[in-house]
Amino acid sequence: MLRRLEVQNLAVIREASLELAPGLNVLTGETGAGKSLLVDALALLLGARPEGMVGPFGEGLLVTAFFQGKEERVLSRRVGSRSTPRIDGEVVSLKELQEEAERWLSLHAQHGALALLSPRRQRELLDALIDPGVLSRYQEAYARHQALRREKEVLEEALRAKAEREDLLRFQLKEIAEASPRPGEDEELWEEARKLRHLEALRERAFRAHGLLEEGALAPLEGALRELRAGGRFDRALEALAQDLEAALQGARAVAQELGDYLEGLEGDPERLGALEARLSLLERLKRKYGPTLEEVLAHAEKARRELAALEGGEARLEEVLKALEEAQEALLLAGEALGEAREKAARELVAGMERELSELGFPKARFQVDLKPLPEPGPFGLEEVAFRFSANPHLPPAPLGAASGGELSRVALALALLTGAEAPTVVFDEVDTGLGGETAWKVAERLFRLAQTRQVLVVTHLPQIAARAHRHLKVVKEGEEVRVEVLEGEARVRELARLLSGQYTEAALAHARLLLERPEAQGSP
């Protein structure tokens, strides 16, 4: 349910907020106070265009709605130089905001009526009256049919290019197999090639280092060692240093020996270098074609082997898919026929119920019609599209709902909500009381109250009969540039009902207002 709504800089409203309760909430107030603007604010969360809605009290407007159910959601939309939709503080697209708002909110007003006009929404309302298993069985059959059709198309496309693709895959596999690369081989070869390319520089550096050790370093170290050993007979500190120097001297002799061996084995091999260069060139070409690393080259070969195997079995699989697709088509049509029959039965019941309800809601001669028009091919939701048609005038044939007025649409929506139960947790009505009075007003009020037993309902109204049935009565008050929303209780509520009754606070109007609140239809709790 909608727990709280906050708006800033919305048309004539600088800042306002309202707290809603479970059950039936009514919003009243003087003309021009901003009642319908609060409904327009909710419409913005549902994706309505904000033309002319940004007020003069800042650079942009902000709408924030706090919804509470099994989970809590905070939906907001800022409109201005920066238009930013958010869900729980996270920036989202306007479409994402609209989809989330639709989970919580149904709006039947000048903007919100657009939802009721969509074929999708009309289909959903009709399907709310049928066994959900009938629809789910159709959708399962449709999903299987579509999956097989996609596989058929992929297989046919693959088979059309099969020969060319097989030749390419075999060539790639042969090229990689003949090279027979090993993971990490290129790094090993680069290391060896680098050594052969710089052989002379290596020989010169090693020779000089060997000479420096043999001719200049070892003899002084040996002399120093003799001196330390001699002194060590009289002082253990020199004996310890002698041991350290002897270890260093042994290391230097070992390095000199290894350098000598290194120099003896350091021979040029132009043929080996040429072979390395050729092998590296081959590996680089493979990496450019199949992957930046040899590991990826080998992975490409494995993938090519699997694809080649699949292509070689493609004809057999296509035969299997064609047979399965034929069976799936038959199952889809059977499921679609069952769904269509269920919709036809539900449509007859809905038409009867709607004409009965609309008569009670002030349209005694109204006609309601449900058209089921066959689709050219099966769709994701059946074999037909659903369209509602309505006429309040007995002399005019039923027309699409888009031809109805705002007040007519609101009452059509109320009747549909009662008969189908397919509404969001919070349902908002504006213009539902247009042109009503007397007992018809009480009947509308009774149906709003009945809907509020299972949904939170918010109604913008001028009718005291509807306001008298509210579980929470909210009044929009405008004083200068300030707009506030008051919760009316006790005598304040009596006075507002008196104003709605006669526009005055006379004793007669106040007494009448008290009678309205005492009337049995105005009693109850959500």
Kindly give, in sequence order, each residue whose CB lies less than 8 Å from that of residue 95, ignoring residues fewer than 6 positions away. Answer: 47
Instruction: State the amino acid at position 260 in one-letter form.
Output: G
Cα-Cα-Cα-Cα dihedral sign, residues 47, 50, 55, 58: positive
* pLDDT tens digits for range 474-483: 999 988 878 8
* pLDDT tens digits for range 260-269: 666 665 665 6
Cα angle vertex 421, ends 391, 410, to 5°?
35
Inform me whether the pLDDT recorded for 314 exceeds 90.
Answer: no
Is residue 82 situated within a structural domain? no
The owner of tokens 């005694």 is 364
How many C-beta atoms lie closer than 10 Å to residue 113's C-beta? 23
Number of domains making up the chain: 1
Ramachandran region of residue 166, left (φ > 0), alpha (ψ -120 to 50) or beta?
alpha
User: Among residues 199, 245, 254, 239, which one has the least CA distance to residue 225?
Assistant: 245
Cα–Cα distance measured from residue 18 to residue 35, given in angstroms and rounded to the nearest whole number: 11
Inform me whether the pLDDT recorded for 111 exceeds 60.
Answer: no
Is residue 29 situated within a structural domain? no
Inform me whether the pLDDT recorded for 82 exceeds 60.
Answer: yes
DSSP 401: G
Is residue 245 situated within a structural domain? yes
Q: What are phi and psi of 22, to 5 degrees?
A: -65, 160
Is residue 340 situated within a structural domain? no
Helix (H, G, I), strand (E, B) or coil at 240: helix
- Average pLDDT over the chain reads 87
DSSP assignment of 421-490 = ----SEEEEESTTTT--HHHHHHHHHHHHHHTTTSEEEEE---HHHHTT-SEEEEEEEETTEEEEEEE-H
Residue 526: the pLDDT is: 41
Inform me whether the pLDDT recorded for 525 exceeds 50.
Answer: no
Inform me whether the pLDDT recorded for 489 exceeds 90.
Answer: yes
The pTM of the full predicted model, rounded to 2 decimals, is 0.68
Inform me whether the pLDDT recorded for 343 exceeds 60.
Answer: yes
Inform me whether the pLDDT recorded for 195 exceeds 70.
Answer: no
Is residue 178 situated within a structural domain? yes
Is residue 252 situated within a structural domain? yes
Query: Over pLDDT 90: what percentage of the chain?
Result: 52
How many C-beta atoms lie closer than 10 Å to residue 63's C-beta? 25
Inform me whether the pLDDT recorded for 23 exceeds 70.
Answer: yes
Is residue 296 situated within a structural domain? yes
How many C-beta atoms lie closer than 10 Å to residue 116's C-beta? 21
Is residue 189 situated within a structural domain? yes
Average pLDDT for 25-49: 91
Q: Could you list the residue range(s) of the whole structural domain that residue 206 is in? A: 163-312
How many C-beta atoms lie closer than 10 Å to residue 489's C-beta? 10
